[in-house]
């Protein structure tokens, strides 16, 4: 007897643990949340020996002052300079001064050659501050787990609790990073959507806002 083949009907959302994003906070399917802070970087190799030592001590102080867990995230992506090269080419055509046009052309060729011969990467740095589901309060699904997918509480309540807990931690992180000479800012909803879309869909252009992503 030949059994009929049941087609698999599923969506990408079932494989992604993100439930919702609101107020700059990511909510996961188990009720846990996270807040993501983007930060600038320092070219450590260009600093003097004394500056390097001072930065190391400052970073150690940053770590020792933390009373809660954080996750450091470094994203490395191949640098796309096609738009920049197109801009240089347009500026070259607009130039009426032959010397200036030649200078722009030489620089454009230099950038194109450098990117072609070397693996030029664009690095971005983030700090993720977590909010555990257990911080919502003890429930059977939180303590012992649940086979069925579903949030332990209503979304509004979870976002409200997460915001109360995460925002003071965010402010503390931003102050510490500022002392290190770094710029830090919490990612908003749109930036979070772009970040996770690029993580789950590498190399795929982001759809226009308003279009269905998943």
- Residue 154 and residue 108 share a domain: no
Letter string b/e over residues 173-202, b meaning 16 or more CB atoms within 10 A of that residue's CB: bbebbeebeeebebbeeeebbebbbeeeee
- Residue 140 and residue 86 share a domain: no
* C-alpha dist (Å) from residue 130 to 34, 95, 106, 114, 157: 4, 52, 48, 40, 17
- Residue 100 and residue 139 share a domain: no
- Which helix (DSSP H) or strand (DSSP E) does residue 71 occupy? strand 71-78
Structure tokens at 111: 């950038």
- Residue 213 and residue 143 share a domain: yes
Does the pTM of the predicted model rise above 0.95? no
> How many structural domains are present in the chain?
2
Structure tokens at 170: 């965010």
- Residue 206 and residue 157 share a domain: yes
- Residue 135 and residue 62 share a domain: yes
- Residue 60 and residue 138 share a domain: yes
- Residue 176 and residue 155 share a domain: yes
Angstrom distance (rounded) from CA 211 to CA 55? 44
C-beta separation of 184 from 174 below 8 A? yes
What range does the domain containing 99 cover? 80-119
User: Torsions phi, psi of 147, nearest 5?
Assistant: -75, -30
- Residue 114 and residue 64 share a domain: no
C-beta separation of 162 from 137 below 8 A? no
C-beta separation of 178 from 7 below 8 A? no
With CA atoms as reference, report the closest residue to 75 among 125, 40, 26, 127.
125
- Residue 115 and residue 130 share a domain: no
Terminal-residue alpha carbon distance, the chain = 38
Print pLDDT tens along the chain (214 aa).
Answer: 555 555 545 455 556 788 999 999 999 998 999 999 999 988 888 889 999 999 899 889 888 989 999 999 998 877 777 778 888 888 888 888 888 888 888 888 888 887 766 666 678 899 999 999 888 876 655 555 555 567 888 999 999 999 999 999 999 999 999 988 899 999 999 999 999 888 888 777 776 654 444 3
**Residue range 105-143, pLDDT digits in tens:** 888 888 888 776 666 667 889 999 999 988 887 665 555
C-beta separation of 43 from 137 below 8 A? no
Q: At what angle do helices 98-117 and 82-94 cross, to 10 degrees?
A: 170
- Residue 69 and residue 158 share a domain: yes
With CA atoms as reference, report the closest residue to 20 among 156, 147, 134.
156
User: Torsions phi, psi of 103, nearest 5?
Assistant: -65, -45
- Residue 86 and residue 68 share a domain: no
Q: Say which residue the tokens 């909803």 belong to.
A: 189
């Amino acid at each position: 007897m030949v059994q009929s083949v049941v087609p698999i009907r599923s969506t990408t959302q079932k494989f992604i643990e993100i439930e919702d994003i609101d107020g700059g906070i990511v909510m996961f399917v188990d009720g846990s949340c996270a807040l993501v802070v983007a930060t600038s970087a320092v070219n450590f190799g260009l600093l003097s020996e004394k500056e390097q030592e001072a930065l190391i001590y400052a970073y150690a102080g940053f770590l020792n002052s933390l009373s809660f867990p954080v996750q450091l995230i470094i994203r490395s992506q191949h640098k796309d300079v096609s738009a920049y090269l197109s801009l240089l080419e347009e500026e070259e055509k607009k130039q009426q001064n032959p010397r200036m046009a030649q200078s722009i052309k030489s620089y454009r060729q230099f950038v194109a050659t450098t990117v072609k011969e070397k693996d030029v990467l664009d690095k971005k740095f983030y700090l993720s501050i977590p909010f555990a589901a257990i911080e919502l309060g003890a429930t059977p699904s939180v303590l012992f787990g649940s086979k069925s997918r579903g949030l332990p509480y209503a979304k509004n309540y979870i976002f409200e609790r997460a915001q109360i807990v995460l925002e003071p931690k965010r402010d503390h992180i931003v102050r510490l990073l500022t002392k290190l000479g770094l710029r830090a800012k919490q990612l908003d909803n749109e930036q979070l959507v772009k970040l996770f879309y690029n993580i789950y869909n590498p190399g795929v252009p982001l759809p226009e806002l308003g279009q269905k992503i998943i």
